[in-house]
Amino acid sequence: MLRTADRVADQATRGVIVPNLFIDGAWVASSAALESDVVNPFDQSVIAKVDEAAPDDVDRAVAAARRAFDAGDWARVPAAERADVLDRVADLLVWNRRQVAHTETLDTGKTLTESRADVDDVVKVFRYYAGLADKEAGRVVETGNPGAVSRIVYEPVGVCALIAPWNYPLLQMAWKVAPALAAGNTVVAKPSEVTPLTTIRLVELLAEAGAPAGVVNLVLGRGPQVGQRLVEHADVDMVSFTGGLATGRRVMQAAAATVKKVALELGGKNPNIVFADADLETALDYALMAVFLHAGQVCSAGARLLVQEEVYDDFVAEVARRADRIRLGNGLDEGTESGPLVSAEHRAKVERYVETGLAEGARLLAGGRRPDEPELQAGFFYRPTVFADCRRGMRVVQEETFGPILTAERFRDEAEAVALGNDTPYGLAGAVWTGDAGRGQRVAARLRHGTIWINDYHPYLPQAEWGGFKQSGVGRELGPTGLAEYRDAKHIYQNIDPKPLRWFAG
Protein backbone atom coordinates (compact mmCIF):
# COMPACT_ATOMS: atom_id res chain seq x y z
CA MET A 1 0.00 0.00 0.00
CA LEU A 2 1.36 3.39 -0.90
CA ARG A 3 1.28 6.25 1.59
CA THR A 4 1.44 9.77 0.23
CA ALA A 5 5.23 10.06 0.27
CA ASP A 6 5.60 6.70 -1.41
CA ARG A 7 3.01 7.67 -3.94
CA VAL A 8 5.03 10.70 -4.95
CA ALA A 9 8.11 8.51 -5.32
CA ASP A 10 6.12 5.95 -7.18
CA GLN A 11 4.63 8.29 -9.72
CA ALA A 12 7.61 8.05 -12.02
CA THR A 13 6.99 4.35 -12.48
CA ARG A 14 3.22 4.31 -12.55
CA GLY A 15 2.57 7.77 -13.85
CA VAL A 16 -0.05 8.59 -11.26
CA ILE A 17 0.48 11.95 -9.70
CA VAL A 18 -0.64 13.22 -6.32
CA PRO A 19 -2.78 14.88 -5.21
CA ASN A 20 -5.25 13.57 -7.76
CA LEU A 21 -8.00 16.12 -8.27
CA PHE A 22 -7.33 18.59 -11.05
CA ILE A 23 -9.18 21.87 -10.69
CA ASP A 24 -8.51 25.11 -12.54
CA GLY A 25 -5.10 23.98 -13.71
CA ALA A 26 -3.82 22.74 -10.35
CA TRP A 27 -3.54 19.33 -8.71
CA VAL A 28 -5.34 19.52 -5.38
CA ALA A 29 -6.30 17.14 -2.60
CA SER A 30 -9.82 16.41 -1.43
CA SER A 31 -11.00 19.38 0.63
CA ALA A 32 -12.53 16.93 3.11
CA ALA A 33 -9.40 14.72 3.16
CA LEU A 34 -11.39 11.85 1.66
CA GLU A 35 -9.37 9.04 0.13
CA SER A 36 -10.15 5.70 -1.42
CA ASP A 37 -8.15 2.60 -2.25
CA VAL A 38 -7.52 1.47 -5.79
CA VAL A 39 -7.30 -2.32 -5.83
CA ASN A 40 -5.55 -4.63 -8.28
CA PRO A 41 -8.23 -7.20 -9.21
CA PHE A 42 -5.54 -9.84 -9.78
CA ASP A 43 -4.56 -10.10 -6.11
CA GLN A 44 -6.56 -7.47 -4.19
CA SER A 45 -3.41 -5.53 -3.36
CA VAL A 46 -3.97 -1.81 -2.88
CA ILE A 47 -2.03 -0.20 -5.71
CA ALA A 48 -2.80 3.41 -4.84
CA LYS A 49 -4.79 5.66 -2.59
CA VAL A 50 -6.51 8.45 -4.42
CA ASP A 51 -8.37 11.56 -3.39
CA GLU A 52 -12.14 11.51 -3.34
CA ALA A 53 -13.87 14.76 -4.20
CA ALA A 54 -16.08 16.34 -1.58
CA PRO A 55 -19.19 18.19 -2.82
CA ASP A 56 -17.23 21.47 -2.56
CA ASP A 57 -14.54 20.08 -4.84
CA VAL A 58 -17.12 19.13 -7.45
CA ASP A 59 -18.58 22.64 -7.26
CA ARG A 60 -15.15 24.22 -7.61
CA ALA A 61 -14.34 22.03 -10.61
CA VAL A 62 -17.60 23.00 -12.30
CA ALA A 63 -17.02 26.67 -11.45
CA ALA A 64 -13.53 26.51 -13.00
CA ALA A 65 -14.92 24.91 -16.16
CA ARG A 66 -17.72 27.51 -16.23
CA ARG A 67 -15.31 30.44 -15.90
CA ALA A 68 -13.01 29.04 -18.57
CA PHE A 69 -15.93 28.49 -20.91
CA ASP A 70 -17.56 31.86 -20.29
CA ALA A 71 -14.25 33.68 -20.76
CA GLY A 72 -14.44 32.21 -24.25
CA ASP A 73 -10.70 31.83 -24.76
CA TRP A 74 -10.74 28.12 -25.52
CA ALA A 75 -13.82 28.22 -27.72
CA ARG A 76 -12.45 31.19 -29.67
CA VAL A 77 -8.95 29.83 -30.07
CA PRO A 78 -8.53 28.85 -33.75
CA ALA A 79 -9.71 25.26 -34.11
CA ALA A 80 -6.33 24.32 -35.54
CA GLU A 81 -4.71 25.30 -32.22
CA ARG A 82 -7.13 23.11 -30.29
CA ALA A 83 -6.20 20.38 -32.73
CA ASP A 84 -2.51 20.91 -31.89
CA VAL A 85 -3.23 20.19 -28.23
CA LEU A 86 -5.01 16.95 -29.17
CA ASP A 87 -2.17 15.94 -31.46
CA ARG A 88 0.35 16.55 -28.67
CA VAL A 89 -1.71 14.34 -26.34
CA ALA A 90 -1.51 11.61 -29.00
CA ASP A 91 2.27 12.06 -29.17
CA LEU A 92 2.59 11.92 -25.39
CA LEU A 93 0.52 8.74 -25.27
CA VAL A 94 2.77 7.15 -27.88
CA TRP A 95 5.84 8.04 -25.81
CA ASN A 96 4.23 6.80 -22.59
CA ARG A 97 2.52 3.76 -24.14
CA ARG A 98 4.28 1.12 -22.06
CA GLN A 99 3.66 2.86 -18.76
CA VAL A 100 0.05 3.77 -19.48
CA ALA A 101 -0.75 0.21 -20.62
CA HIS A 102 0.92 -1.17 -17.51
CA THR A 103 -1.17 1.09 -15.29
CA GLU A 104 -4.37 0.11 -17.10
CA THR A 105 -3.61 -3.58 -16.57
CA LEU A 106 -2.85 -3.07 -12.88
CA ASP A 107 -6.09 -1.18 -12.44
CA THR A 108 -8.49 -3.30 -14.54
CA GLY A 109 -6.87 -6.74 -14.61
CA LYS A 110 -7.06 -6.90 -18.40
CA THR A 111 -4.11 -8.37 -20.30
CA LEU A 112 -1.25 -6.16 -21.42
CA THR A 113 -2.12 -7.00 -25.02
CA GLU A 114 -5.58 -5.50 -24.47
CA SER A 115 -4.22 -2.48 -22.61
CA ARG A 116 -1.70 -1.74 -25.36
CA ALA A 117 -4.45 -2.01 -27.95
CA ASP A 118 -6.53 0.43 -25.88
CA VAL A 119 -3.69 2.98 -25.81
CA ASP A 120 -3.16 2.60 -29.55
CA ASP A 121 -6.86 3.14 -30.20
CA VAL A 122 -6.91 6.19 -27.95
CA VAL A 123 -4.00 7.68 -29.91
CA LYS A 124 -6.03 7.23 -33.10
CA VAL A 125 -9.07 8.87 -31.52
CA PHE A 126 -7.09 11.97 -30.49
CA ARG A 127 -5.54 12.20 -33.94
CA TYR A 128 -8.91 11.75 -35.62
CA TYR A 129 -10.56 14.58 -33.68
CA ALA A 130 -7.47 16.76 -34.12
CA GLY A 131 -8.01 16.31 -37.84
CA LEU A 132 -11.73 17.03 -37.63
CA ALA A 133 -11.55 20.07 -35.34
CA ASP A 134 -11.24 22.68 -38.09
CA LYS A 135 -13.56 21.00 -40.58
CA GLU A 136 -17.20 21.87 -41.07
CA ALA A 137 -17.41 25.12 -39.12
CA GLY A 138 -20.93 25.64 -40.41
CA ARG A 139 -22.89 26.15 -43.60
CA VAL A 140 -24.56 28.84 -45.66
CA VAL A 141 -28.34 28.62 -45.88
CA GLU A 142 -30.40 29.68 -48.88
CA THR A 143 -32.83 32.33 -47.60
CA GLY A 144 -35.02 32.72 -50.66
CA ASN A 145 -34.52 36.45 -50.20
CA PRO A 146 -31.78 38.37 -52.06
CA GLY A 147 -31.80 40.95 -49.26
CA ALA A 148 -30.73 38.48 -46.59
CA VAL A 149 -27.89 36.10 -45.87
CA SER A 150 -28.07 33.27 -43.47
CA ARG A 151 -25.64 30.76 -42.06
CA ILE A 152 -25.42 28.04 -39.49
CA VAL A 153 -22.43 28.08 -37.13
CA TYR A 154 -21.52 25.26 -34.78
CA GLU A 155 -20.72 26.34 -31.26
CA PRO A 156 -19.55 24.32 -28.28
CA VAL A 157 -22.30 23.24 -25.87
CA GLY A 158 -20.50 24.60 -22.80
CA VAL A 159 -19.44 22.81 -19.64
CA CYS A 160 -19.50 19.05 -20.20
CA ALA A 161 -19.49 16.44 -17.44
CA LEU A 162 -17.82 13.30 -18.78
CA ILE A 163 -18.61 10.15 -16.79
CA ALA A 164 -16.90 6.88 -17.74
CA PRO A 165 -17.07 3.24 -16.59
CA TRP A 166 -14.41 0.84 -15.32
CA ASN A 167 -14.11 -1.63 -18.19
CA TYR A 168 -12.32 0.66 -20.67
CA PRO A 169 -11.36 3.55 -18.39
CA LEU A 170 -8.85 5.31 -20.63
CA LEU A 171 -10.56 4.53 -23.91
CA GLN A 172 -14.07 5.55 -22.88
CA MET A 173 -12.84 8.81 -21.39
CA ALA A 174 -10.83 9.55 -24.55
CA TRP A 175 -13.92 9.03 -26.71
CA LYS A 176 -15.48 11.91 -24.78
CA VAL A 177 -12.57 14.23 -24.00
CA ALA A 178 -11.17 14.38 -27.54
CA PRO A 179 -14.34 15.52 -29.36
CA ALA A 180 -15.47 17.71 -26.45
CA LEU A 181 -12.21 19.68 -26.53
CA ALA A 182 -12.02 19.70 -30.33
CA ALA A 183 -15.42 21.41 -30.33
CA GLY A 184 -14.27 24.07 -27.83
CA ASN A 185 -16.05 22.89 -24.68
CA THR A 186 -14.61 22.81 -21.19
CA VAL A 187 -14.91 19.57 -19.25
CA VAL A 188 -15.12 17.98 -15.84
CA ALA A 189 -14.08 14.34 -16.10
CA LYS A 190 -15.22 11.67 -13.64
CA PRO A 191 -13.84 8.16 -14.09
CA SER A 192 -15.17 5.18 -12.18
CA GLU A 193 -13.90 5.13 -8.60
CA VAL A 194 -12.85 1.53 -9.32
CA THR A 195 -10.37 2.44 -12.10
CA PRO A 196 -9.26 6.08 -11.92
CA LEU A 197 -5.52 5.74 -12.59
CA THR A 198 -5.22 6.12 -16.36
CA THR A 199 -7.69 9.01 -16.35
CA ILE A 200 -5.46 10.81 -13.86
CA ARG A 201 -2.61 10.16 -16.26
CA LEU A 202 -4.61 11.35 -19.25
CA VAL A 203 -5.47 14.62 -17.53
CA GLU A 204 -1.80 15.12 -16.70
CA LEU A 205 -0.93 14.61 -20.37
CA LEU A 206 -3.68 17.02 -21.44
CA ALA A 207 -2.21 19.69 -19.16
CA GLU A 208 1.28 18.96 -20.44
CA ALA A 209 -0.01 19.21 -24.00
CA GLY A 210 -1.23 22.73 -23.34
CA ALA A 211 -4.90 22.56 -22.32
CA PRO A 212 -5.35 25.91 -20.50
CA ALA A 213 -6.35 26.13 -16.82
CA GLY A 214 -10.03 25.38 -16.26
CA VAL A 215 -10.53 23.73 -19.65
CA VAL A 216 -9.95 20.22 -18.29
CA ASN A 217 -10.89 19.37 -14.70
CA LEU A 218 -10.89 16.04 -12.92
CA VAL A 219 -12.92 14.87 -9.96
CA LEU A 220 -12.70 11.39 -8.45
CA GLY A 221 -15.12 9.56 -6.23
CA ARG A 222 -18.27 7.53 -6.07
CA GLY A 223 -20.88 7.73 -8.77
CA PRO A 224 -23.96 8.28 -6.60
CA GLN A 225 -22.24 11.22 -4.87
CA VAL A 226 -19.71 12.82 -7.21
CA GLY A 227 -21.31 11.72 -10.49
CA GLN A 228 -24.82 12.58 -9.38
CA ARG A 229 -23.75 16.04 -8.21
CA LEU A 230 -22.24 16.74 -11.61
CA VAL A 231 -25.39 15.60 -13.39
CA GLU A 232 -27.61 17.75 -11.18
CA HIS A 233 -25.35 20.81 -11.30
CA ALA A 234 -27.03 23.86 -12.82
CA ASP A 235 -23.75 25.05 -14.35
CA VAL A 236 -23.18 21.85 -16.30
CA ASP A 237 -24.63 22.11 -19.81
CA MET A 238 -24.16 18.57 -20.99
CA VAL A 239 -23.56 15.11 -19.55
CA SER A 240 -21.88 12.43 -21.60
CA PHE A 241 -22.27 9.17 -19.72
CA THR A 242 -21.10 5.63 -20.42
CA GLY A 243 -22.24 2.97 -18.01
CA GLY A 244 -25.01 0.58 -17.12
CA LEU A 245 -28.67 0.89 -18.10
CA ALA A 246 -30.00 1.48 -14.57
CA THR A 247 -27.48 4.27 -13.92
CA GLY A 248 -28.18 5.72 -17.37
CA ARG A 249 -31.86 6.03 -16.49
CA ARG A 250 -30.95 7.82 -13.25
CA VAL A 251 -28.65 10.19 -15.13
CA MET A 252 -31.37 11.01 -17.63
CA GLN A 253 -33.87 11.67 -14.85
CA ALA A 254 -31.48 13.86 -12.87
CA ALA A 255 -30.49 15.82 -15.98
CA ALA A 256 -34.14 16.54 -16.73
CA ALA A 257 -34.39 19.00 -13.84
CA THR A 258 -32.10 21.44 -15.64
CA VAL A 259 -32.90 20.19 -19.17
CA LYS A 260 -29.29 19.30 -19.89
CA LYS A 261 -28.15 17.80 -23.09
CA VAL A 262 -27.52 14.10 -22.42
CA ALA A 263 -25.51 11.53 -24.36
CA LEU A 264 -25.79 7.97 -23.08
CA GLU A 265 -23.73 4.91 -24.05
CA LEU A 266 -25.30 2.06 -22.13
CA GLY A 267 -25.10 -1.71 -22.16
CA GLY A 268 -25.77 -4.35 -24.75
CA LYS A 269 -26.90 -7.94 -25.16
CA ASN A 270 -25.35 -8.58 -28.47
CA PRO A 271 -26.31 -11.43 -30.81
CA ASN A 272 -23.54 -13.29 -32.60
CA ILE A 273 -25.37 -15.14 -35.38
CA VAL A 274 -23.72 -18.10 -37.11
CA PHE A 275 -25.28 -19.60 -40.24
CA ALA A 276 -24.39 -23.13 -41.34
CA ASP A 277 -22.89 -21.76 -44.57
CA ALA A 278 -20.24 -19.71 -42.70
CA ASP A 279 -16.54 -20.50 -42.47
CA LEU A 280 -17.21 -22.35 -39.24
CA GLU A 281 -13.63 -22.61 -38.02
CA THR A 282 -13.21 -18.83 -38.24
CA ALA A 283 -16.65 -18.20 -36.75
CA LEU A 284 -15.77 -20.47 -33.84
CA ASP A 285 -12.48 -18.77 -33.18
CA TYR A 286 -14.17 -15.37 -33.19
CA ALA A 287 -17.10 -16.55 -31.08
CA LEU A 288 -14.71 -17.12 -28.18
CA MET A 289 -12.99 -13.76 -28.60
CA ALA A 290 -16.34 -12.01 -29.08
CA VAL A 291 -17.57 -12.97 -25.62
CA PHE A 292 -14.52 -13.75 -23.49
CA LEU A 293 -12.36 -10.73 -24.37
CA HIS A 294 -11.64 -8.84 -21.13
CA ALA A 295 -13.52 -11.58 -19.23
CA GLY A 296 -16.75 -10.56 -20.92
CA GLN A 297 -16.67 -7.07 -19.45
CA VAL A 298 -17.27 -5.45 -22.81
CA CYS A 299 -20.45 -3.58 -23.71
CA SER A 300 -20.42 -5.10 -27.20
CA ALA A 301 -19.55 -8.64 -26.03
CA GLY A 302 -21.05 -11.33 -28.26
CA ALA A 303 -22.69 -12.93 -25.25
CA ARG A 304 -25.69 -14.33 -27.10
CA LEU A 305 -24.62 -16.98 -29.58
CA LEU A 306 -27.26 -17.95 -32.15
CA VAL A 307 -26.33 -20.95 -34.27
CA GLN A 308 -28.25 -22.52 -37.16
CA GLU A 309 -29.67 -25.86 -36.09
CA GLU A 310 -27.83 -28.17 -38.51
CA VAL A 311 -24.43 -27.17 -37.06
CA TYR A 312 -25.54 -26.11 -33.58
CA ASP A 313 -24.55 -29.18 -31.50
CA ASP A 314 -21.01 -29.56 -32.81
CA PHE A 315 -20.36 -25.82 -32.89
CA VAL A 316 -21.47 -25.17 -29.32
CA ALA A 317 -19.69 -28.26 -27.96
CA GLU A 318 -16.44 -27.06 -29.55
CA VAL A 319 -16.89 -23.52 -28.19
CA ALA A 320 -17.28 -25.03 -24.72
CA ARG A 321 -14.24 -27.27 -25.14
CA ARG A 322 -12.08 -24.30 -26.12
CA ALA A 323 -13.57 -22.06 -23.41
CA ASP A 324 -12.42 -24.63 -20.86
CA ARG A 325 -8.85 -24.19 -22.07
CA ILE A 326 -8.64 -20.40 -21.76
CA ARG A 327 -5.63 -19.55 -19.57
CA LEU A 328 -6.54 -17.23 -16.73
CA GLY A 329 -3.84 -15.28 -14.97
CA ASN A 330 -2.14 -12.03 -14.17
CA GLY A 331 -2.73 -9.55 -16.97
CA LEU A 332 0.91 -8.50 -16.63
CA ASP A 333 2.11 -11.99 -17.67
CA GLU A 334 2.44 -12.26 -21.41
CA GLY A 335 1.06 -15.84 -21.45
CA THR A 336 -2.23 -14.86 -19.84
CA GLU A 337 -5.26 -15.08 -22.11
CA SER A 338 -7.81 -13.61 -19.71
CA GLY A 339 -7.57 -11.62 -16.51
CA PRO A 340 -9.93 -11.45 -13.55
CA LEU A 341 -13.22 -9.63 -13.18
CA VAL A 342 -12.88 -6.10 -11.90
CA SER A 343 -14.17 -6.49 -8.34
CA ALA A 344 -15.62 -8.89 -5.79
CA GLU A 345 -18.96 -7.15 -6.15
CA HIS A 346 -18.98 -7.64 -9.90
CA ARG A 347 -17.99 -11.32 -9.63
CA ALA A 348 -20.85 -11.86 -7.19
CA LYS A 349 -23.21 -10.39 -9.80
CA VAL A 350 -21.86 -12.76 -12.47
CA GLU A 351 -22.26 -15.71 -10.09
CA ARG A 352 -25.87 -14.77 -9.48
CA TYR A 353 -26.47 -14.83 -13.24
CA VAL A 354 -24.98 -18.32 -13.47
CA GLU A 355 -27.33 -19.50 -10.70
CA THR A 356 -30.21 -17.84 -12.52
CA GLY A 357 -29.28 -19.58 -15.78
CA LEU A 358 -29.15 -22.97 -14.07
CA ALA A 359 -32.47 -22.36 -12.34
CA GLU A 360 -34.03 -21.39 -15.68
CA GLY A 361 -32.94 -24.73 -17.19
CA ALA A 362 -29.90 -23.70 -19.25
CA ARG A 363 -27.42 -26.58 -19.71
CA LEU A 364 -23.94 -25.84 -18.38
CA LEU A 365 -21.22 -26.96 -20.81
CA ALA A 366 -18.20 -25.10 -19.43
CA GLY A 367 -17.19 -23.02 -16.43
CA GLY A 368 -19.89 -22.07 -13.97
CA ARG A 369 -17.34 -21.83 -11.20
CA ARG A 370 -14.26 -20.05 -9.90
CA PRO A 371 -10.90 -21.50 -10.98
CA ASP A 372 -9.08 -24.03 -8.77
CA GLU A 373 -5.50 -22.83 -9.25
CA PRO A 374 -4.03 -21.69 -5.92
CA GLU A 375 -2.31 -18.68 -7.55
CA LEU A 376 -5.68 -17.33 -8.70
CA GLN A 377 -7.47 -17.51 -5.37
CA ALA A 378 -6.68 -13.93 -4.32
CA GLY A 379 -8.08 -12.48 -7.56
CA PHE A 380 -11.65 -11.99 -8.71
CA PHE A 381 -11.46 -14.78 -11.28
CA TYR A 382 -14.32 -16.69 -12.83
CA ARG A 383 -14.08 -19.48 -15.41
CA PRO A 384 -15.41 -18.79 -18.92
CA THR A 385 -18.92 -20.21 -18.86
CA VAL A 386 -20.99 -21.67 -21.68
CA PHE A 387 -24.72 -22.39 -21.41
CA ALA A 388 -26.48 -24.42 -24.11
CA ASP A 389 -30.21 -24.99 -24.68
CA CYS A 390 -31.06 -21.41 -23.81
CA ARG A 391 -34.41 -19.87 -24.71
CA ARG A 392 -35.24 -16.30 -25.62
CA GLY A 393 -37.26 -15.52 -22.48
CA MET A 394 -34.58 -16.46 -19.97
CA ARG A 395 -33.11 -13.67 -17.86
CA VAL A 396 -29.58 -14.89 -18.54
CA VAL A 397 -30.34 -14.44 -22.24
CA GLN A 398 -32.06 -11.08 -21.96
CA GLU A 399 -30.01 -9.22 -19.36
CA GLU A 400 -26.46 -7.97 -19.64
CA THR A 401 -24.34 -10.13 -17.33
CA PHE A 402 -21.19 -8.20 -18.23
CA GLY A 403 -19.14 -11.28 -17.40
CA PRO A 404 -17.68 -14.39 -19.07
CA ILE A 405 -21.05 -16.02 -19.75
CA LEU A 406 -22.06 -17.22 -23.21
CA THR A 407 -25.63 -18.37 -23.85
CA ALA A 408 -26.30 -20.48 -26.96
CA GLU A 409 -29.62 -20.76 -28.80
CA ARG A 410 -30.49 -22.50 -32.04
CA PHE A 411 -32.41 -21.08 -35.00
CA ARG A 412 -33.89 -22.56 -38.17
CA ASP A 413 -33.69 -19.84 -40.82
CA GLU A 414 -32.88 -16.21 -41.58
CA ALA A 415 -36.21 -14.91 -40.33
CA GLU A 416 -35.85 -16.63 -36.98
CA ALA A 417 -32.23 -15.48 -36.63
CA VAL A 418 -33.30 -11.87 -37.13
CA ALA A 419 -36.25 -12.23 -34.75
CA LEU A 420 -34.04 -13.65 -32.01
CA GLY A 421 -31.29 -11.12 -32.66
CA ASN A 422 -33.75 -8.29 -32.20
CA ASP A 423 -35.48 -9.85 -29.20
CA THR A 424 -33.73 -7.70 -26.61
CA PRO A 425 -34.35 -4.29 -25.06
CA TYR A 426 -30.78 -3.43 -26.03
CA GLY A 427 -29.47 -2.47 -29.46
CA LEU A 428 -25.73 -1.92 -29.29
CA ALA A 429 -24.00 -4.40 -31.58
CA GLY A 430 -24.27 -7.76 -33.32
CA ALA A 431 -22.59 -9.97 -35.86
CA VAL A 432 -23.59 -12.30 -38.65
CA TRP A 433 -21.42 -15.12 -39.99
CA THR A 434 -22.31 -16.44 -43.42
CA GLY A 435 -20.75 -17.42 -46.74
CA ASP A 436 -23.63 -15.76 -48.58
CA ALA A 437 -22.86 -12.07 -49.15
CA GLY A 438 -26.48 -11.22 -49.85
CA ARG A 439 -27.63 -12.87 -46.63
CA GLY A 440 -25.01 -10.96 -44.67
CA GLN A 441 -26.35 -7.66 -45.99
CA ARG A 442 -30.01 -8.65 -45.53
CA VAL A 443 -29.51 -9.66 -41.91
CA ALA A 444 -27.37 -6.58 -41.19
CA ALA A 445 -30.13 -4.36 -42.57
CA ARG A 446 -32.80 -5.95 -40.36
CA LEU A 447 -30.91 -6.10 -37.06
CA ARG A 448 -31.79 -3.18 -34.78
CA HIS A 449 -28.33 -2.58 -33.35
CA GLY A 450 -25.95 0.37 -33.73
CA THR A 451 -23.04 -1.67 -35.11
CA ILE A 452 -23.22 -4.84 -37.21
CA TRP A 453 -20.19 -6.90 -38.13
CA ILE A 454 -20.33 -9.32 -41.04
CA ASN A 455 -17.82 -12.18 -40.72
CA ASP A 456 -15.94 -10.32 -38.00
CA TYR A 457 -16.39 -9.24 -34.39
CA HIS A 458 -15.40 -6.21 -32.32
CA PRO A 459 -13.52 -3.93 -34.71
CA TYR A 460 -14.47 -0.28 -34.41
CA LEU A 461 -13.00 2.75 -36.06
CA PRO A 462 -12.55 6.28 -34.69
CA GLN A 463 -14.10 7.57 -37.93
CA ALA A 464 -17.22 5.37 -37.66
CA GLU A 465 -20.09 6.20 -35.31
CA TRP A 466 -20.55 4.02 -32.22
CA GLY A 467 -23.69 3.84 -30.12
CA GLY A 468 -26.93 2.13 -29.38
CA PHE A 469 -30.42 1.70 -30.71
CA LYS A 470 -33.26 1.19 -28.23
CA GLN A 471 -32.16 1.09 -24.57
CA SER A 472 -28.46 0.93 -25.42
CA GLY A 473 -28.31 4.67 -25.42
CA VAL A 474 -28.92 8.10 -26.82
CA GLY A 475 -26.52 9.76 -29.24
CA ARG A 476 -23.33 8.55 -30.84
CA GLU A 477 -19.65 8.60 -30.06
CA LEU A 478 -16.82 8.56 -32.63
CA GLY A 479 -17.12 9.68 -36.22
CA PRO A 480 -18.38 13.13 -37.24
CA THR A 481 -21.54 12.59 -35.14
CA GLY A 482 -19.32 12.10 -32.09
CA LEU A 483 -18.10 15.66 -32.62
CA ALA A 484 -21.57 17.00 -33.42
CA GLU A 485 -22.77 15.76 -29.99
CA TYR A 486 -20.59 18.42 -28.42
CA ARG A 487 -21.81 21.24 -30.64
CA ASP A 488 -24.94 23.30 -30.82
CA ALA A 489 -26.07 24.76 -34.12
CA LYS A 490 -26.75 28.49 -34.17
CA HIS A 491 -28.61 30.22 -36.98
CA ILE A 492 -27.33 33.71 -37.84
CA TYR A 493 -29.59 35.63 -40.21
CA GLN A 494 -28.67 39.02 -41.57
CA ASN A 495 -30.88 41.45 -43.43
CA ILE A 496 -28.35 43.20 -45.68
CA ASP A 497 -30.69 45.95 -46.79
CA PRO A 498 -32.96 46.71 -43.80
CA LYS A 499 -35.94 49.02 -44.40
CA PRO A 500 -39.07 49.73 -42.32
CA LEU A 501 -41.56 46.93 -42.70
CA ARG A 502 -44.74 48.93 -41.87
CA TRP A 503 -46.30 45.84 -40.35
CA PHE A 504 -48.27 48.13 -38.08
CA ALA A 505 -49.58 51.29 -39.59
CA GLY A 506 -48.74 53.43 -36.44
- Judged by the rule CB under 6 A, the positions of this chain that interact with ligand NDP are 163-168, 172, 190, 192-194, 222-224, 227-228, 231, 242-244, 247, 250-251, 265-268, 299, 400, 402, 428, 468, 473
CB 477 to ligand NDP: min, Å: 7
Given the complex with ligand NDP, which of 343 and 422 has the nearer CB atom? 343
What does the alpha-carbon distance between residue 467 and residue 160 come to, in Å, rounded to a whole number?
A: 19
475-485 core/surface letters (b: 16 or more CB in 10 A; e: else): bbbbbeebbbb
Contact (CB, 8 A) for 108 and 169: yes
What does the alpha-carbon distance between residue 223 and residue 481 come to, in Å, rounded to a whole number?
A: 27
CB 255 to ligand NDP: min, Å: 10
CB 357 to ligand NDP: min, Å: 18
What letter would DSSP give residue 497? S
CB 42 to ligand NDP: min, Å: 19
Given the complex with ligand NDP, which of 147 and 224 has the nearer CB atom? 224
Given the complex with ligand NDP, which of 74 and 353 has the nearer CB atom? 353
The full DSSP string for 65-122 is HHHHHHH-HHHHS-HHHHHHHHHHHHHHHHHTHHHHHHHHHHHH---HHHHHHHHHHH
Distances (CA, A) of 326 to 203, 292, 294, 296, 372: 35, 9, 12, 13, 13
Given the complex with ligand NDP, which of 373 and 456 has the nearer CB atom? 456
CB 476 to ligand NDP: min, Å: 10
Q: Which residues contact 329 (CB under 8 A, 6 or more apart)?
A: 335, 336, 337, 338, 339, 375, 376
Name the catalytic one among 52, 104, 114, 265: 265
CB 131 to ligand NDP: min, Å: 22
CB 502 to ligand NDP: min, Å: 55
CB 402 to ligand NDP: min, Å: 5
What letter would DSSP give residue 151? E
Given the complex with ligand NDP, which of 168 and 387 has the nearer CB atom? 168
H runs (alpha helix) in 382-478: 395-398, 414-421, 437-446
Contact (CB, 8 A) for 283 and 443: no
Q: How far apart are the first and last CA of the chain?
A: 81
Q: How many CA atoms lie within 13 A of 157 on its CB side?
A: 23
CB 231 to ligand NDP: min, Å: 5
Given the complex with ligand NDP, which of 301 and 307 has the nearer CB atom? 301
Given the complex with ligand NDP, which of 265 and 485 has the nearer CB atom? 265
Helix (H, G, I), strand (E, B) or coil at 176: helix
Given the complex with ligand NDP, which of 102 and 250 has the nearer CB atom? 250
- Residue 322 phi, psi (nearest 5): -75, -35
Cα diameter, the chain = 93
Q: Is 265 a catalytic residue?
A: yes
Contact (CB, 8 A) for 173 and 189: yes
- Residue 39 phi, psi (nearest 5): -110, 135
Q: Which residue type is seen at 103? A: T
Given the complex with ligand NDP, which of 119 and 316 has the nearer CB atom? 119
Helix (H, G, I), strand (E, B) or coil at 296: helix
CA angle (402 as vertex; 445, 102 as ends), nearest 5: 110
What does the alpha-carbon distance between residue 157 and residue 186 come to, in Å, rounded to a whole number?
A: 9
Task: Report cis status (omega within 30 of 0) of the bond before 374.
Answer: no
CB 152 to ligand NDP: min, Å: 29
Q: Is 390 a catalytic residue?
A: no
Residue nearest to ligand NDP (CB): 223
Q: Which residues contact 271 (CB under 8 A, 6 or more apart)?
A: 302, 304, 306, 420, 421, 424, 430, 431, 447, 449
Q: Which residues contact 162 (CB under 8 A, 6 or more apart)?
A: 173, 176, 177, 180, 187, 188, 189, 190, 240
Given the complex with ligand NDP, which of 348 and 489 has the nearer CB atom? 348
Name the catalytic one among 52, 114, 299, 477: 299
Instruction: List active site positions.
Output: 265, 299
